[in-house]
């Protein structure tokens, strides 16, 4: 449907996944969101690398390829929400780390969200949730809303440096 293929990722794709996270953040900083970099936490190795490796080992990563078999996006899909997202009151799938190459952003995001909805349906789960940075202009929230999500809970997550990362939890019914 989107000229993209999505399937379970593994350790072979972790390098590409982490590179997309870095490239994505770099694009955001230089193109539109100069203050985003200040909200990121870095350690050696970065916490996000450890998290993606853990999810890949657990079979929870999803990778998007184009027709030429180039990796264009990735995400993590679990049955658990992060600490800042309160229990939904029902079983859910939670979409974490949705990231794409800039060039394929819209198609890859749509394919990964469609894949998450399909996975939820196969699991008999009716609720799919995710979260994003609210940013200065709310663009990311609007992108998820265009994909069928509804904004629910705003939150602030305390970072190691004492600053806060502002975010929005979103949900959609499957």
Nearest to 76, CA basis, from 100, 51, 95, 101:
95
The percent of the chain in helix, strand and coil, each rounded to the nearest 5, is 35, 30, 35
pLDDT digits (tens, 9 = 90+) for 129-166: 999 988 778 888 999 999 999 999 999 888 777 878 88
The 8-class DSSP code of residue 6 comes to E
Taking the C-alpha atoms of residue 56 and residue 25, their distance in angstroms, rounded to an integer, is: 21
**So what's the pLDDT on residue 53?**
83
pLDDT, one tens digit for every residue, the chain (174 residues): 457 788 788 777 777 877 777 665 544 444 444 444 455 555 556 667 778 888 888 888 899 998 888 888 899 999 999 988 999 999 999 999 888 888 888 899 999 999 999 999 999 999 999 999 887 788 889 999 999 999 999 998 887 778 788 899 999 999
CB contact set of 135 (below 8 Å; sequence gap of 6+):
33, 36, 166
What is the SS3 assignment for 97? Answer: strand
pTM to 2 decimals?
0.83
């Amino acid at each position: 449907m989107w000229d993209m293929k999505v399937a379970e990722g593994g350790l072979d794709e972790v390098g590409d996944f982490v590179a997309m996270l870095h490239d994505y953040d770099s694009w955001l900083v230089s193109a539109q969101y100069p203050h985003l970099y200040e909200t990121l936490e870095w350690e050696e190795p970065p916490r996000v690398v450890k998290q993606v490796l853990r999810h890949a080992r657990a079979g929870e990563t999803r990778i998007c390829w184009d027709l030429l078999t180039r990796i264009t996006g990735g995400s993590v899909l679990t049955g658990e929400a992060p600490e800042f997202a309160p229990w939904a009151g029902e079983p859910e799938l939670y979409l974490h780390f949705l990231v794409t190459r800039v060039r394929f952003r819209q198609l890859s995001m749509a394919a990964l969200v469609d894949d998450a909805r399909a996975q939820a349906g196969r699991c008999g789960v009716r609720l799919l949730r995710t979260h994003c940075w609210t940013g200065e202009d709310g663009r990311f929230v609007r992108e998820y809303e265009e994909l069928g999500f509804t904004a629910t809970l705003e939150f602030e997550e305390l970072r190691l440096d004492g600053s806060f990362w502002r975010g929005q939890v979103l949900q959609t019914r499957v």
